[in-house]
Amino acid sequence: MDPRAVKSNPLKVKEMEGDTLTPISIFHRLSGKRKFLLESSLKHEKSGRYSFIGSDPYLELKAVGGECEIHRIQEGVRCTQKLTIIDAIHQHLSSFDRSLPFPFYGGGVGYIGYDAIRQYENIGGTPADDMEMPDAHLMFYEQVVVMDHQLQKIYLVFLDLSGNGTEEQMAKKLHQMEEDLKTPSKQEFSREIANTSSFHSTIKKAVFEEKVKKAQEHIKRGDIFQVVLSQRLQAEFKGSPFSFYRKLRRTNPSPYMFYIDFDDYLVLGASPESLVSVKGEHVLTNPIAGTRRRGMTEEEDQQLEKDLLSDEKELAEHRMLVDLGRNDLGRVCEIGSVELTKFLTVERYKHVMHIVSEVKGKLRKNVSRLDALLSCLPAGTVSGAPKIRAMQIINELEVSKRGVYAGAVGYINVTGEFDFALAIRTMVIKANTAYVQAGAGIVLDSVPQNEYEETIHKAKALLEVKG
């Protein structure tokens, strides 16, 4: 598509009362294929005020290696170009500048996986691609339902990004969306079965522990301070993936919750952590490290917070990640603009509490918004420090591509503004198999068996969701 063709995009927005609908009921009622739902457990002004639901994308981008497949879905046309995923995305953004109160009203939804960084950094040869998934996969939507939880309003949005819509066609699309939302779906009230069989790891315990020891040898030599080693678990999946997602959101409410149907596979998850977001000229990243369970009483909760903030190992790891975040933003932001706006703050979730900090900066004039995404990918939380050397060691020790895990999941608005979560606590369902990957931060005094058990515990928490 010629980027000049989308410089002035016709937009239609229709408002509805939203006090009788939920993101789940909207998802069920909205007709179409390749549906997505992006939502948050935090229903307040700063985080989670809006939920986004969409269907029937007009375009998809798939990046593998140094090539990108561009699929114009409605026309049934595919082509492959020598392009990075970021260059491909830029071709489908717009100078559209109508001010709307919500941050996403059309554009790309999907993931940019850990392995997409290979297009930009030399981290070694490409390992086995056993899951056969793109390094990055984004679907572009013209029709989006926006739910404003604060005002209890619903906005039906149609933005003619493909350039093929007439006024009559756009009005018809909005009318169809409105009729969809007025009509209850049987699925809303069903209790479909959704579960996984017993899981198994793709690596033996002794082999993983040996890799931990090899990582510690690198630390002893001074190559790195820390590295995050991961393993993948898989299980047979039975039933409805969306029913499974509904159980997940009930039992593990999180700041970033997502369900994306890519047609031949699904990605769903409940991530606690933002990777990076850009609004206007401002870029924001939120390092998270340091965790305790929630207390049974307010008194115990306060004591656990006190213990967390006095744990030198947890604090050292958190400070390291804050430094990485400052360095990441420093590569794309104006000199002197990067600042620590929140430091060592404890945030509470349903089951755990985390130490959270916030780093902000102002983008330089000569960089694009998407350059900020590249600068932060992958997060230090899932790679290590120094980041590039840690990724090279991960490449030596892990036998297969990470795929979605440790990458970014979220949206890119048509204007280029975006919000991406860190792809942890994330499941891929493909060909009736559920895949979950989890990592552990390896330092000099790590106990290999404990690190193995940590990865198993993290992955099981998602594979064995009850509710």
- Catalytic residues, by residue number, are 354, 381, 405, 425, 441
The continuous run of DSSP H or E covering 214 comes out as helix 205-220
* Residue for token pair 């959704």: 194
Residues contacting 303, CB < 8 A, separation 6+? 295
- List CB contacts of 299: < 8 A, sequence separation 6 or more: none
Q: Which amino acid makes up residue 182?
A: K
Strands (DSSP E) along 96-186, which ranges? 107-112, 136-141, 143-148, 153-159
d(CA 279, CA 363): 10
Tell how strand 274-279 and strand 282-285 pair up.
Answer: antiparallel
Cα torsion 420, 402, 322, 268 to 10°: value is: 40
SS3 199: coil
CB 410 within 8 A of CB 38: yes
In degrees, rounded to 5, the angle at the alpha carbon of residue 350 between the alpha carbons of residues 306 and 430 is 125
